[in-house]
A = this chain, B = another copy of it.
Amino acid sequence: MQSRYEKGLALIAEIDRSQAERIISGLADIAPDFAQYLVEFAFGDIYSRLGLDLKSRQIATMAALGALPQLKVHINFALELGCSREEIVEIIMQMAVYAGFPAALNGFAAAKEVFAERAQRGTASCRINAAMPASGAASPS
């Protein structure tokens, strides 16, 4: 049976391995246990759950992050999970209604940076078909 850690890592690998590895290695010299909890709980327990597809999970995460620096990471995740740039723009635009115009302006600044970084790296938007349920994405086979 797959451990929670393996399950989380497998899911991360399907979303955006390089971003996740950067976060995990950034924790290595200060709180390696925390990197483990992140993989196990956030990805192995929660993100891997059936009942809500990965793209919808990522929409929820982006919407909730507001002005936090992690928004950039999750815009990247969303693009990898099949969100179009148009959808990301809509999610940020809607922040104006529920969190105010400044939150949305911060969101657009983050999105512009992500889009520019990806253009420079030559990364197109979506990579995998994320419309499938999380179950499919996380199943070990």
Chain A residues close to B by CB (< 8 Å): 23, 26-27, 29-31, 33-34, 37-38, 41-42, 45-47, 49, 51-52, 56-57, 59-70, 86-87, 89-106, 108-109, 111-112, 115
Query: With a CB–CB cut-off of 8 A, which chain B residues contact A67?
Result: 68-69
Q: Is the CB of A62 within 8 A of B60?
A: yes
Query: With a CB–CB cut-off of 8 A, which chain B residues contact A100?
Result: 95-100, 103
Query: Chain B CB within 10 Å — which of A41, A101, A104 has the most?
Result: A101
Number of copies of this kind of chain in the complex: 6
Interface of A is mostly: helix
Choose from B96, B98, B102, B115 the contact partner of A30 (Cβ within 8 Å). Answer: B115
Query: Chain B CB within 10 Å — which of A49, A62, A102, A112 has the most?
Result: A102
Query: With a CB–CB cut-off of 8 A, which chain B residues contact A62?
Result: 60
